[in-house]
């Protein structure tokens, strides 16, 4: 039988190795097969791959052929140590003809001691571009016909293939982790919140009606458009609808359409294929795909660029998307809840917002009035935040009546977010009952609305009026809940003890229905 030339043999090895690299599911599986090939084509009885481990700053044998477990465990080499460490450090291949006597060969694995044949050691660095990954080492029987120069070239080609494959697996792993983390984040963000309808605090008719609407809307899959000034609770309401819906165990994600530049917003929503644009070094799923089965909250939708509005309209109509740089369509099942603090009808009339998209998202409109339009919610919200932050900072503080009067008077341009932040600051800064002196000046200066409010709520003596508002709130809550104290307490955000205390204080009669 005609003997195949050594060079033909090399070609066969490279062909076999590239087939393996494209088929195996992990780098280690592929390395195992490559070392087996070297044995069958070259009669190399021992071989291994040592990869560099950043954490320990050592090279370690990752996969081997013809070695005992003990030998493998001894295979730890420092950068620059012995022949293997030097190949890695200097990125230069090496051939050692007599491993038993050559002092450069440190024999850390103790292989040289146990082999009875004369073996030549060939080692090449595994590197791609400027990145070094490790060393590929082969022990081969001495053979006069064998050109070690050619062998080193062939091994260097294999090492490059191994390096490229390692990079590919690393990138795939990174991508997989990214997707996993992103999905988990979306799910855990919400489960941590554990939002319930009772966390929407307020006794005004506006809030009571909103809660009723939320319950109805949650049972459907309709698109919702929430309007209201910044800080009025649009995001809280979107999350509550999701949490009360059948989609509650699926992801919920928020995209703020005003905060992200146009091209980034598009890739965030739709995802992209590798190479779709410069910088797209790997595939990425968009929020539509990541929230499949769940809810996507498009905050500040009024700021969405017109070009994307057209794409969003298509998604809402066809229920499918395609990633940037791909023709392939992917079906998605995502509920859209949108929100805006802008006058969206005005944006439509100005041509800044598509009319067709407006009708498409405005299936169920929910409007949240500003806090200054529902002053009656302020005392209960103050109480709620005092308790919330009191628990967090382990302080039980209250506000006196003149302070409450100022808080009710203030116009709260930042709405509930501003009130919440104010109370948190007060709790952090104070250790006793909060009085007007503890308030920042701008809260006290804002008396513009005082008269209007006094007229609206109908009182002149503020402290006693606060009490009468509270009494009224309790009476309303009791009435609404059929005089079931536990339900009324929940509605008001009180404990039953706190409710009982106030029922006594205001001498409220409990009706037996």
Ligand X SMILES: Nc1ncnc2c1ncn2[C@@H]1O[C@H](COP(=O)(O)OP(=O)(O)OP(=O)(O)O)[C@@H](O)[C@H]1O
Give contact residues for ligand X (rule: CB under 6 A): 200-202, 228, 230-236, 299, 341, 416-417, 420
Task: Decide: 228 and 369 in contact? Cβ < 8 Å.
Answer: yes
Tell the smallest beta-carbon distance from residue 48 to ligand X (Å). Answer: 57
Tell the smallest beta-carbon distance from residue 56 to ligand X (Å). Answer: 45
Specify burial of residue 208 (Cβ count, 10 A radius: 0-12, 13-18, 19+). Answer: middle
Rounded to whole angstroms, the Cα distance separating 9 from 281 reads: 36
Rounded to whole angstroms, the Cα distance separating 86 from 75 reads: 14
Choice between 75 and 231, CB closer to ligand X = 231
Specify burial of residue 51 (Cβ count, 10 A radius: 0-12, 13-18, 19+). Answer: buried
Instruction: Give Cα 244 distance to the centre of its chain.
Output: 22
Rounded to whole angstroms, the Cα distance separating 306 from 299 reads: 16
Tell the smallest beta-carbon distance from residue 209 to ligand X (Å). Answer: 13
Choice between 231 and 379, CB closer to ligand X = 231
Rounded to whole angstroms, the Cα distance separating 189 from 214 reads: 21
Looking up tokens 């790997």, which residue turns up? 282
Choice between 35 and 381, CB closer to ligand X = 381
Q: For residue 271, what are the contacts with CB-CB under 8 A and spacing of at least 6?
A: 283, 284, 285, 286, 288, 289, 321, 323, 324
Tell the smallest beta-carbon distance from residue 366 to ligand X (Å). Answer: 11
Choice between 63 and 300, CB closer to ligand X = 300
Q: Please name which of 407, 427, 431, 409 lies closest in space to residue 419, comparing C-alpha atoms.
A: 407
Tell the smallest beta-carbon distance from residue 179 to ligand X (Å). Answer: 27
Tell the smallest beta-carbon distance from residue 370 to ligand X (Å). Answer: 10
Choice between 157 and 362, CB closer to ligand X = 362
Choice between 63 and 299, CB closer to ligand X = 299
Choice between 162 and 477, CB closer to ligand X = 477
Rounded to whole angstroms, the Cα distance separating 499 from 492 reads: 9
Tell the smallest beta-carbon distance from residue 414 to ligand X (Å). Answer: 8
Secondary structure element (H or E) that encloses residue 469, with its range: helix 462-480
**Alpha carbon of 85 to those of 6, 106, 201, 206: distances in Å?**
29, 10, 66, 73
Tell the smallest beta-carbon distance from residue 92 to ligand X (Å). Answer: 59
Give the Cα-Cα-Cα angle 49, 36, 60 (nearest 5 degrees).
15
Choice between 28 and 208, CB closer to ligand X = 208
Tell the smallest beta-carbon distance from residue 202 to ligand X (Å). Answer: 5
Task: Decide: 288 and 322 in contact? Cβ < 8 Å.
Answer: no
Tell the smallest beta-carbon distance from residue 504 to ligand X (Å). Answer: 26
Choice between 234 and 283, CB closer to ligand X = 234
Rounded to whole angstroms, the Cα distance separating 44 from 120 reads: 10
Rounded to whole angstroms, the Cα distance separating 170 from 158 reads: 18
Choice between 51 and 381, CB closer to ligand X = 381
Residue of closest CB approach to ligand X: 233
Give me the sheet containing 119-128, strands edge to edge.
Answer: 76-78, 58-65, 46-53, 131-141, 119-128, 94-96
Task: Decide: 83 and 105 in contact? Cβ < 8 Å.
Answer: yes
Tell the smallest beta-carbon distance from residue 493 to ligand X (Å). Answer: 8
Choice between 367 and 417, CB closer to ligand X = 417
Task: Decide: 492 and 481 in contact? Cβ < 8 Å.
Answer: no
């Amino acid at each position: 039988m005609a003997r195949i030339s050594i060079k033909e043999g090399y070609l066969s090895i490279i062909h076999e190795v590239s087939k393996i690299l494209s088929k195996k599911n992990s780098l280690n599986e592929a390395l195992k097969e490559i070392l087996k090939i070297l044995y069958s084509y070259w009669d190399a009885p021992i071989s291994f791959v040592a990869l560099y481990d950043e954490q320990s700053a050592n090279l370690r044998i990752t996969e081997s052929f013809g070695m005992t477990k003990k030998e493998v465990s001894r295979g730890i080499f420092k950068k620059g140590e012995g022949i293997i460490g030097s190949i890695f450090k200097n990125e230069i291949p090496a051939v050692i003809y007599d491993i038993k006597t050559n002092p450069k060969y440190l024999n850390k694995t103790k292989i040289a001691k146990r082999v009875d044949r004369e073996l030549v050691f060939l080692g090449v660095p595994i590197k791609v571009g400027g990145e070094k990954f490790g060393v590929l080492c082969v022990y081969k029987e001495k053979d006069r016909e064998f050109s070690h120069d050619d062998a080193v070239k062939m091994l260097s080609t294999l090492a490059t293939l191994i390096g490229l494959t390692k990079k590919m697996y690393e990138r795939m792993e990174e991508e997989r982790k990214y997707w996993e983390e992103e999905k988990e984040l979306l799910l855990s963000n919400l489960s941590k919140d554990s939002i319930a309808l009772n966390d929407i605090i307020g006794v005004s008719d506006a809030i009571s009606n909103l809660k009723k609407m939320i319950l109805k809307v949650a049972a459907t899959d309709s698109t919702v458009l929430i309007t209201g000034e910044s800080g009025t609770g649009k995001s809280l309401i979107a999350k509550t609808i999701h949490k009360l819906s059948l989609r509650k165990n699926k992801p919920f994600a928020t995209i703020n359409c005003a905060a992200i530049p146009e091209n980034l917003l598009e890739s965030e929503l739709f995802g992209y294929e590798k190479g779709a644009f410069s910088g797209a070094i790997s595939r990425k799923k968009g929020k539509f795909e990541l929230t499949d089965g769940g809810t996507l909250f498009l905050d500040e939708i009024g700021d969405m660029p017109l070009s994307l509005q057209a794409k969003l309209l298509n998604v809402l109509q066809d229920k499918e998307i395609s990633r940037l740089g791909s023709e392939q369509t992917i079906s998605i099942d995502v509920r859209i809840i949108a929100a805006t603090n802008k006058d969206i009808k005005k944006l439509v009339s100005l041509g800044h917002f598509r009319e067709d998209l407006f009708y498409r998202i405005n299936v169920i409109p929910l409007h949240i009035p500003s806090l200054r339009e529902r002053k009656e919610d302020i005392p209960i919200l103050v109480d709620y935040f005092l308790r919330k932050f009191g628990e967090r900072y382990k302080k039980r503080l209250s506000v006196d009546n003149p302070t409450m009067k100022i808080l009710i008077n203030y116009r709260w341009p930042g709405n509930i977010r501003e009130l919440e932040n104010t109370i948190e600051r007060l709790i952090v800064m104070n250790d006793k009952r909060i009085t007007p002196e503890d308030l920042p000046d701008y809260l006290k200066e804002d008396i513009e609305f005082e008269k209007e409010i006094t007229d609206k709520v109908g009182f002149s003596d503020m402290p006693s009026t606060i009490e009468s508002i509270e009494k009224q709130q309790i009476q309303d809550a009791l009435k609404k809940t059929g005089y079931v104290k536990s339900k009324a307490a929940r509605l008001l955000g009180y404990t039953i003890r706190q409710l009982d205390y106030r029922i006594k204080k205001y001498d409220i009669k409990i009706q037996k229905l």
